[in-house]
Structure 1
Amino acid sequence: MYRQEEPEVNLEKIFSRFKSIFGRFGGSGKGIGPVVILVIIGVAVAVWAASGVFTVNPGEEAALKRFGAYSDTKGPGLQWWWPGPIGARDVVRVDEVRRLELGIRGDTPVLSESLMITGDPDENGRPGEAPNIVDVQLLVQYDIKNLKNYLYKVVSPEGATLKDATETSLRQVIGSRPIDDSLTDKKEQVQFDTKKKLQDILDDYQSGINVREVKLLNVFAPEQVKDAFDDVVRAKEDKAKIINLADAYKEDVLPRARGDAAKALQDAEGFRQQKIAIATGEAERFLAIQREYVKSRDITRKRLYLEAMEEILPGISKILGDPGEIIIMAPSKDRSNIVPVPVQGGNE
């Protein structure tokens, strides 16, 4: 927004006052008159020069003109520039976010701006051969990036220029796409393409405007088929929702399944190592017994027999033996520890 300029010094009025004062001192004083005149002129010049001091607030810029022609741009701080009628200045807030609504004013639709033709393909896939009509309402947010261009290069940059450029950009984007892109899942791409095309046009115009955001407010299908299009939109939204739920379920199940699989592999590996160790130990034990057996066959055979009987007999209640042998038993109280000892020839 423009900031109201400080009042300029009216030199003609000052000079007329000088003349009236000079007339009073001119007839007497023996030389005092010229001195007074010079003092008054010096004071007037000082006041006029001091009126060129001004302040540029943060977020503002000042465009300076000398004799009506652009000269320079000043940023925030205390500045000085030629006062009028030599110089002039325009102080503008450049970081303010401004808005432009297309196709709507407040809550009132503007159909002359919002009705647009889409680029739907025909049955053979040729784009633009089966167009539809869509009602599009758009919001543009922008600020000033070049104050000189904004003020002096384009007539009404934030009025007709920006509005016409926005409408042209949106119509080109909508006209190059099928209607579903604007109604359903391609809105973000439509906004991006419109913003890029609008910025290119404004830069070609040297408007000094920076487009910050382009947002589709409302997009409506033609009234005759609005219900059918609404059903399509709801179906696509449901599809996207189901896909998102499926993805969430996948992201929840897959890590747990991978964890369970890794745990099963680790358990299997541990079980394998355990069995290998047991088998290796049994094999080593068997080899050790074999070596002892080779050294003393009878004693080793008898020891193996006794060890086997220690494991077998506690589970049985009857003992069968050779009548020609004496079987010595050493039962425990609960008869769970019976150790038969065969004695050859009736001797222990």
Structure 2
Amino acid sequence: MAWNEPGGNGKNQDPWGGGGDNRGGNNRGGDQGPPDLDEALRKLQDKLNNIFGGSGKKPNSGFGGDGGGSGSSSGSGFFIVIIVLAVLLWAGMGAYTVDQQERAVVLRLGEFIETKGPGLRWNPPLIDQVSKVVVTRVRTRDHRSLMLTKDENIVEVEMTVQYVITDPKDFLLNVRNPEESLSHAAESALRHVVGATEMHSILTQGRETLGVQVMERLQGYMRDYRTGLQISQVNIKEAKAPSQVQDAFDDVIKAREDEQRVKNEAEAYSNGVVPEARGQAQRMLEEASAYREEVIAKAQGESQRFTALLTEYEKAPEVTRERLYLDTMEQVMTDSPKVLVDVEGGNNMMYLPLDKLSQGVSTRQSADTSVSLDNQSLRQVTDQVIDQLRQRQASSRREGR
């Protein structure tokens, strides 16, 4: 009977056990050697069967034929477990996550399958190759070079190219190094545009136009090459002459700026003088027209006055003649400071130097005040002088009688 059969004295018969009381014989219990490998595998199989719902332990009849079958089944079960674990591990390696700003390009055995968007994804590992590409980030690439312009001058241009990836498949598969190809294409486009443009335009107001033309040509290159890149902006950061001749170019630019400034000043002066001259000419024309109308109206008025005066003169010649004489004398003597007095009955006209009298009166006043005779004072003085002259003439007549 085997030592581990039911009903046997397993405690005393276990060849590896250490609980026997055999003290004197050759059988020394658990101290005789290591446990059997088949037994260890069987125990592991039993534990796994219990975990996965197996049938538990099965009795065997020792180290004979039944024991060999049990060892073989234990080995096959162990390998099945290993395979299951390997499959689970392989399946777990195929799970991955694609971010919102990324796209995943899937290759199966080197052949393109699809492009996947954001989310949790799974592909069989070791069969499919997944490459993630960021498609929302704006990338920048700088470029600087010396080149020849249309008028055979050398300029140094520095520009910045901004671009994004729009087609991950073309970006990864069509071109070996898309960004390096972008650099070469940018230099080619820049040289083509600069070679067709004059230096003055590049150094002054033509930079914006230069950037637009380079962007259009560069985008055409990227579309023809199928690089999956979209050019968003081309900025011309700097355009200048080479450092060896920069001072001479600065002098030329300064001279051109002075020329433009002088032209602007001349135009401003012209815009200020020409309208003023036109205004003065128009004013002179208006004044001449007004003077003509004034002279014509005055002549017409004088002729009408003369006609009316002639009519009155024909009615009363003496009175009209006297009136004309008085009016004429009044006009002549209005601005004169001298007074002539014609006394009735006298033979000579008396002359009164009123200007001298007014100067004598003013010299008698204080130095801080100035006094002048107005019209009323002159009339008063004139009346007094006339009264005195009349009194003298009356007294002389009485004496003559």
Relative to the length of structure 1, the TM-score reads 0.55
1:247-326 alignment to 2 at 5 Å?
A: 247-261=263-277, 263-265=279-281, 267-268=283-284, 271-272=287-288, 274-276=290-292, 278-297=294-313, 298=317, 302-316=322-336, 317=338
Q: State the Cα deviation string for residues 175-218 of structure 1 (Å, max 9, x = none).
A: 5567x559855862655544443232222213322151142646
Q: Does 1:243 align with 2:259?
A: yes
* Superposition CA RMSD, Å: 4.9
1:162 shift after superposition: 0.8
Q: Does 1:69 align with 2:85?
A: no
1:307 shift after superposition: 3.0
3-state SS of 2:266 partner: helix
Query: Which of 166, 171, 176 is matched with 1:155 structurally?
Result: 176
3-state SS of 1:94 partner: coil
* 1:35 matched residue in structure 2: none
The verdict on how the C-alpha distance between 1:137 and 1:143 changes in structure 2, with shifts beyond 3 A counting, is: same
Q: Does 1:204 align with 2:236?
A: no
Matches of 1:203 and 1:213 in 2, distance apart? Answer: 16
Identity of aligned residues (%): 19
* 1:136 matched residue in structure 2: 156
- Whether the aligned pair in 2 keeps the contact of 1:119 and 1:175 (CA below 8 Å) is yes
Question: Larger radius of gyration, structure 1 or 2?
Answer: 2
Query: Which of 59, 84, 88 is matched with 2:123 structurally?
Result: 84
3-state SS of 1:296 partner: helix
- Whether the aligned pair in 2 keeps the contact of 1:119 and 1:177 (CA below 8 Å) is yes
- Contiguous gaps of at least 5 residues in structure 2: 1-46, 57-87, 353-374, 383-401
Q: State the Cα deviation string for residues 75-122 of structure 1 (Å, max 9, x = none).
A: xxxx546433489573524352x332334xxxxxxxxxx45566666x
3-state SS of 1:334 partner: helix
- Whether the aligned pair in 2 keeps the contact of 1:63 and 1:147 (CA below 8 Å) is no
Q: State the Cα deviation string for residues 320-341 of structure 1 (Å, max 9, x = none).
A: 99xx999999x965379x9xxx
- Whether the aligned pair in 1 keeps the contact of 2:98 and 2:132 (CA below 8 Å) is no
**Structure 2 letter corresponding to 1:144:** V
Matches of 1:89 and 1:325 in 2, distance apart? Answer: 141
Query: Which of 172, 176, 185 is matched with 1:165 structurally?
Result: 185
Count the aligned residue pairs: 261
Matches of 2:201 and 2:308 in 1, distance apart? Answer: 91
The verdict on how the C-alpha distance between 1:212 and 1:198 changes in structure 2, with shifts beyond 3 A counting, is: same
- Whether the aligned pair in 2 keeps the contact of 1:162 and 1:202 (CA below 8 Å) is yes
* 1:334 matched residue in structure 2: 378
Q: State the Cα deviation string for residues 239-263 of structure 1 (Å, max 9, x = none).
A: 2221232134235423432453354
**Structure 1 letter corresponding to 2:178:** P
**Structure 2 letter corresponding to 1:306:** L
Q: State the Cα deviation string for residues 267-286 of structure 1 (Å, max 9, x = none).
A: 43553464355335423432
Structure with higher RCO (Cα < 8 A, 6+ apart): 1
1:311 shift after superposition: 1.7
**Structure 2 letter corresponding to 1:209:** Q
Matches of 1:22 and 1:252 in 2, distance apart? Answer: 105
Q: State the Cα deviation string for residues 202-235 of structure 1 (Å, max 9, x = none).
A: 22213322151142646554x8xx3xx3454133
Matches of 2:48 and 2:287 in 1, distance apart? Answer: 118
1:312 shift after superposition: 1.0
Relative to the length of structure 2, the TM-score reads 0.49
The verdict on how the C-alpha distance between 1:203 and 1:309 changes in structure 2, with shifts beyond 3 A counting, is: farther
**Structure 1 letter corresponding to 2:225:** Y
* 1:100 matched residue in structure 2: 141
- Whether the aligned pair in 2 keeps the contact of 1:142 and 1:213 (CA below 8 Å) is yes
1:180-195 alignment to 2 at 5 Å?
A: 180=199, 184-185=203-204, 188=207, 191-195=211-215
* 1:24 matched residue in structure 2: 51
* 1:14 matched residue in structure 2: none
* 1:344 matched residue in structure 2: none
- Whether the aligned pair in 2 keeps the contact of 1:174 and 1:182 (CA below 8 Å) is no
Matches of 1:312 and 1:21 in 2, distance apart? Answer: 152
